[in-house]
Amino acid sequence: MVCNAIAPSLIESELFGYAPRAFTGADPGGRVGFFEKANGGTIFLDEIGEIPLEIQVKLLHVLQNKRIYRVGSTTPVDVDVRVITATNRDLEEEVKQGRFRQDLYYRINVFPIHIPALRERKRDLYILANSVLEDLCRKYDMEMKQFSEEALDVISGYDWPGNVRELENIIERAITVCDGRIVYSENLMIRPEARVNSTLKERLEADERKIIEDTLFKNNDDRKKTMDELGLSRTVFYEKLKKYEISK
Residue range 126-145, pLDDT digits in tens: 999 999 999 999 999 999 99
Task: Specify the pLDDT at position 4.
Answer: 62
Residue 144 DSSP symbol: P
Could you tell me the sign of the dihedral formed by the alpha carbons of 16, 89, 60, 81, in that order?
positive
Residues 6+ apart with CB under 8 A from 232: 240
Residue 242 predicted with pLDDT over 70: yes
> Could you tell me the residue ranges of all domains in the chain?
3-108, 118-194, 200-243
pLDDT of residue 197: 47
Provide the whole-model pTM: 0.62
Give the burial class of 95: count Cβ atoms within 10 A of its Cβ; 0-12 exposed, 13-18 middle, 19 or more buried. Answer: middle
The phi, psi pair for 195, rounded to 5°, reads -85, 165
Dihedral sign for Cα atoms in the order 178, 179, 185, 187:
negative
Residue 200 reports pLDDT greater than 90: no
Least confident of 30-34, 48-52, 120-124, 146-150: 120-124
Q: Which pLDDT value is given to residue 218?
A: 86
Estimate to the nearest angstrom the gap between the alpha carbon of 70 and the chain centroid: 28
118 burial (CB, 10 Å; 0-12 / 13-18 / 19+) is buried
What pLDDT is attached to residue 45? 94
Spatial CA neighbour of 108 closest among 60, 69, 61: 60
pLDDT in tens, 6-42: 777 789 999 999 999 888 877 888 999 999 999 999 9
Beta bridge partners of 31: 18
Candidates 86, 18, 97, 17; CA nearest to 53 is 97
Closest to 184 in 3D by CA, of 153, 136, 147: 147
Predicted confidence (pLDDT) per residue in 151-199, tens digit: 988 898 888 888 898 999 999 999 999 989 999 989 998 876 555 445 6
62-108 pLDDT, tens digit each: 999 999 999 999 999 999 999 999 998 889 999 999 999 999 999 99
**CATH class for the region spanning 3-108:** alpha beta
**Predicted pLDDT at 199:** 63
Q: Which residue has the higher pLDDT, 135 or 218?
A: 135
From the number of C-beta atoms within 10 Å of its C-beta (0-12, 13-18, 19+), residue 188 rates as: buried
The verdict on domain 118-194 having CATH code 1.10.1740.10 is no
